[in-house]
């Protein structure tokens, strides 16, 4: 809050001077200066005016600065024109510090922007229920979970969905393996069921297709059974989907994600949502029956300017993959009436119930699912074109661009080195993961290795602590490492995953944040810091540069979060949390806290930092532990 006040004040000072000088209004940007000698904030207004007036920026800056109403300075102490043309402002630090700390301590949710409450659906994970999550899936889970956490912090009503494609060919492949190729349904001792199904059965069934193409026919028949819900195939599928989900969820929980609802594709089909939506699309003129040409007999949707039309219903009457997404999206936004029955799938570690769309009557005491104001779906960037078709179809039904958000993320690939360690030789700089061919690294394995490393480190540093404590801490550290690693990079860029780098717990990592938090807690504990007095009673003079930087950084939280919400860019959240921690560590190194004449003030700053970092860690899904 305090930071936006600062900016607003600087902006106002410049604008009123411009008005007084009868110059034209310009859109200025208030930004931070590159170094403290220049002050803290600067305006580029004179550059903007320079072009219009045909005069040197410096001249204009001087004029503006001379015409400021100095009596209205509040948080700003001084303004001066710099040779380059910038107008630089210095902060009245005592005032600003008092104001900033008051804001932090008076607000339990400091830095969280205020928002009108809406209902938000976030769909993520949605891994085919025939295998274990690999490290690429974790990127999806963590992005989705973090977005959901941010939405919850804003006070929105958030429902987290995991879409279960239980009728697709991937499940059919497993069914075929069990029915026709003699694979056992039991995992070998010591192997997680989802690993066994994915690593062994699924991969080998796909190899078998190459040797025996006739199996394809069998797969087709099984797929039909799954879609229509009959026969032995459907029965086995229901069981294996359940069993795999149980295992997949353990992995998701381990990285800190929980859900509200598992939404089965089979139920969407059986509730005949598509039929309803299809009728409405026909009536709206969105789809038409193609006559002649290569799409003869298909129902197609117009593609737009340079886009080819898209088949939604094949000439044999079956729907394509993309068409299955439309009714689901329509349901999310309340464009079709909710007809699902719901049942409880399980209870999650936090105690929260996990619901599923039920195969039978279900129960009545379920929450109202669907009908959200906004639906955010975390899906790979490669599906952008299809998602745009979904969006387009929704527009015909009354919603679209603004309500249906495809949060597109790039893949996780394996580094050359890590691929080689797995026995995969690639010519390229990185190797794409592929479930079908067995080229991937399982999330559980990565987590286990991180856990092992974290446990060794924790043990070494805390020899007096018991095993139980060490395990708990190591688990939290592994979680922080994996989440931060998956979040810190631009969502649009491929992450080249390297096992050795991932195992590094130093530098720009999750454990660094946890360490900084524990350090602050430790200082406060050692100082016996309990409660603060009114801020007026503190000595706020002689601030060290590092104190100033930390305070300024803390005061920026709301602005940073607003930007993160507007852009749905979790990497910015990592960067801000990291900057907070870095500022604190710099302050810690330079300024004695406990044995200082400014002890009380510095403890208060430390406590403010602790609170803010805790909030940020919470958004990131990282556990703030008092000691690690």
Report 459-478 residues binding RNA (CB under 7 A): 461, 473, 477
Decide whether 441 or 513 has the Cβ nearer to RNA: 513
- Give the separation between CA 18 and CA 26, rounded to whole angstroms: 9
Residue 490 found at the interface with RNA (CB under 7 A): yes
Distance CA 501, CA 512 (A): 15
522 touching RNA, by CB under 7 A = yes
Is residue 496 part of the contact set for RNA (CB under 7 A)? yes
User: Is 511 one of the binding residues for RNA (CB under 7 A)?
Assistant: yes
Contact 323, 301 (CB under 8 A): no
* Rounded distance between C-alpha atoms, residue 70 and residue 13, angstroms: 9
Nearer Cβ to RNA (352/385): 385
CB 529 within 8 A of CB 597: no
Check residue 1 for interaction with RNA (CB under 7 A): no
Structure tokens at 192: 């997680």
Residue closer to RNA by CB (options 368, 567) is: 567
User: With CB under 7 A as the contact rule, which of the stretches 112-120, 153-161, 162-170, 232-240 interacts with RNA?
Assistant: 162-170
Q: Tokens representing 326?
A: 């439309």
Footprint (CB under 7 A) of RNA, residues 415-444:
428-429, 432
Does position 42 interact with RNA (CB under 7 A)? The reply is yes
524: helix, strand or coil = helix
How far apart are alpha carbons 131 and 193 in whole angstroms? 8
| Residue 528 contacts RNA per CB under 7 A | no
Under rule CB under 7 A, residue 458 binds RNA = yes
Strand order in the sheet with 430-432: 430-432, 412-415, 495-497
316 touching RNA, by CB under 7 A: yes
How deeply is 396 buried, as exposed, middle or buried, from its count of CB atoms within 10 A (0-12, 13-18, 19+)?
Answer: buried
The closest of 452, 447, 444 to 195, measured between CA atoms, is: 444
Q: Out of 53, 62, 193, 627, which residue is the one contacting RNA (CB under 7 A)?
A: 627
Smallest distance, RNA to C-beta of residue 211, A: 20
Number of residues located near RNA, criterion CB under 7 A: 94
Q: Does 304 bind RNA (CB under 7 A)?
A: no
Q: Within 164-203, which residues bind RNA (CB under 7 A)?
A: 165, 167-170
Q: Which of residues 360-379 bind RNA (CB under 7 A)?
A: none
Instruction: State which residue, 352 or 417, has the beta carbon closest to RNA.
Output: 417
Q: Give the footprint of RNA on residues 565-594 (CB under 7 A).
A: 571-572, 575, 578, 582, 585-586, 588-589, 591-594
By CB under 7 A, tell whether 322 contacts RNA.
yes
Q: At residue 355, what are phi and psi to the nearest 5 degrees?
A: -95, 165
Write out the H or E segment, with its range, that includes residue 300.
Answer: strand 299-301
Query: Please, which residue, 260 or 325, has the CB nearer to RNA?
Result: 325
**Distance separating alpha carbons of residues 229 and 139, to the nearest angstrom:** 32
Chain positions 606 to 625 lying near RNA, rule: CB under 7 A, are none
Q: Which two tokens stand for residue 175?
A: 């069914």
| Residues facing 76 on adjacent strands | 91
Q: Using CB under 7 A, which of 19, 24, 51, 368 touches RNA?
A: 51
Task: Return the residue of 72, 84, 184, 216 that touches RNA, per CB under 7 A.
Answer: 84
The reply to whether 492 sits near RNA by the rule CB under 7 A is yes
Query: Running DSSP on this structure, what letter comes out for residue 114?
Result: P
For RNA, which residue of 11, 15, 38, 600 counts as binding (CB under 7 A)?
Answer: 38
Which of residues 158 and 205 has its CB atom nearest to RNA in the complex?
205
Tokens describing residue 176: 């075929």
For residues 88 to 107, the per-residue mask of contacts with RNA, x marking binding by CB under 7 A and - elsewhere, is: x-------------------
Q: In what order do the strands lie in the sheet with 119-123?
A: 342-347, 353-357, 261-264, 157-164, 119-123, 374-380, 404-409
CB 419 within 8 A of CB 442: no
């Amino acid at each position: 809050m305090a930071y936006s006040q600062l900016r607003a004040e600087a902006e106002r000072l410049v604008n009123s001077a411009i008005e007084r000088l009868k110059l034209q209004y310009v859109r200025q940007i208030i930004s931070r200066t590159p170094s403290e000698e220049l002050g803290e904030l600067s305006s580029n207004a004179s550059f903007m005016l320079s072009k219009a007036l045909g005069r040197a920026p410096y001249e204009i800056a001087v004029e503006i600065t001379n015409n400021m109403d100095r009596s209205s300075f509040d948080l700003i102490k001084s303004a001066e024109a710099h040779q380059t043309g910038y107008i630089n402002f210095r902060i009245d630090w005592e005032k600003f510090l008092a104001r900033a700390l008051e804001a932090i301590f008076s607000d339990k949710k400091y830095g969280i922007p205020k928002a009108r409450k809406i209902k938000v659906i976030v769909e993520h994970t949605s891994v085919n229920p025939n295998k274990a999550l690999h490290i690429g899936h974790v990127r999806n889970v963590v992005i989705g979970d973090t977005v959901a956490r941010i939405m919850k912090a804003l006070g929105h009503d958030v429902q987290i969905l995991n879409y279960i494609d239980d009728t697709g060919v991937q499940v059919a492949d497993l069914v075929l393996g069990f029915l026709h190729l003699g694979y056992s349904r039991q995992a070998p001792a010591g192997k997680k069921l989802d690993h066994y199904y994915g690593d062994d059965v699924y991969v080998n069934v796909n190899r078998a297709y190459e040797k025996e193409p006739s199996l394809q026919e069998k797969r087709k028949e099984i797929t039909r059974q799954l879609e229509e819900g009959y026969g032995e195939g459907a029965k086995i599928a229901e069981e294996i989907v359940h069993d795999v989900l149980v295992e997949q969820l353990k992995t998701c929980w381990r990285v800190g994600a929980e859900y509200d609802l598992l939404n089965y594709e089979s139920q969407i089909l059986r509730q005949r949502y598509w039929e309803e939506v299809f009728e409405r699309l026909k009536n709206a003129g969105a789809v038409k029956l193609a006559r002649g040409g290569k799409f003869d007999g298909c129902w197609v949707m117009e593609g737009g300017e340079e886009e080819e039309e898209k088949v939604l219903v094949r000439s044999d009457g079956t729907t394509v993959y993309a068409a299955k997404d439309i009714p689901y999206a329509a349901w999310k936004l309340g464009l079709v009436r909710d007809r699902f029955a719901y049942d409880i799938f399980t209870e999650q570690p936090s105690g929260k119930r996990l619901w599923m769309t039920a195969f039978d009557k279900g129960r009545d005491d379920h929450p109202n699912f669907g009908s959200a104001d906004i639906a955010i779906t975390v899906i790979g960037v490669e599906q952008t074109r299809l998602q745009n078709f979904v969006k387009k179809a929704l527009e015909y039904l009354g919603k679209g661009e603004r309500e249906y958000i495809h949060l597109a993320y790039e893949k996780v690939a394996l580094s050359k080195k890590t691929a080689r360690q797995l026995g995969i030789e690639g010519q390229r700089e990185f190797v794409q993961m592929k479930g079908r061919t067995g080229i991937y690294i399982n999330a559980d394995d990565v987590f286990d290795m991180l856990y092992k490393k974290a446990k060794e480190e924790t043990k070494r540093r805390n020899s007096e602590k018991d095993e139980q404590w060490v395990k708990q801490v190591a688990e939290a550290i592994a979680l922080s490492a994996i989440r931060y690693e998956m979040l810190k990079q631009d969502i649009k860029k491929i992450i080249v995953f390297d096992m050795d780098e991932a195992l590094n717990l130093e530098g720009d990592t999750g454990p660094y944040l946890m360490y900084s938090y524990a350090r602050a807690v430790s200082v406060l504990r050692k100082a016996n810091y309990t409660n603060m007095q009114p801020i007026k009673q503190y000595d706020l003079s002689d601030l060290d540069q590092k104190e100033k930087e930390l305070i300024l950084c803390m005061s920026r939280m709301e602005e940073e979060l607003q930007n993160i919400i507007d852009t749905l860019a979790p990497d910015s959240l990592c960067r801000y949390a990291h900057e907070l921690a870095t500022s604190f560590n710099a302050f810690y190194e330079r300024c004695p806290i406990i044995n200082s004449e400014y002890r009380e003030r510095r403890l208060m700053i430390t406590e403010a930092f602790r609170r803010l970092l805790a909030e940020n860690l919470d958004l990131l899904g990282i556990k703030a532990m008092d000691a690690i």
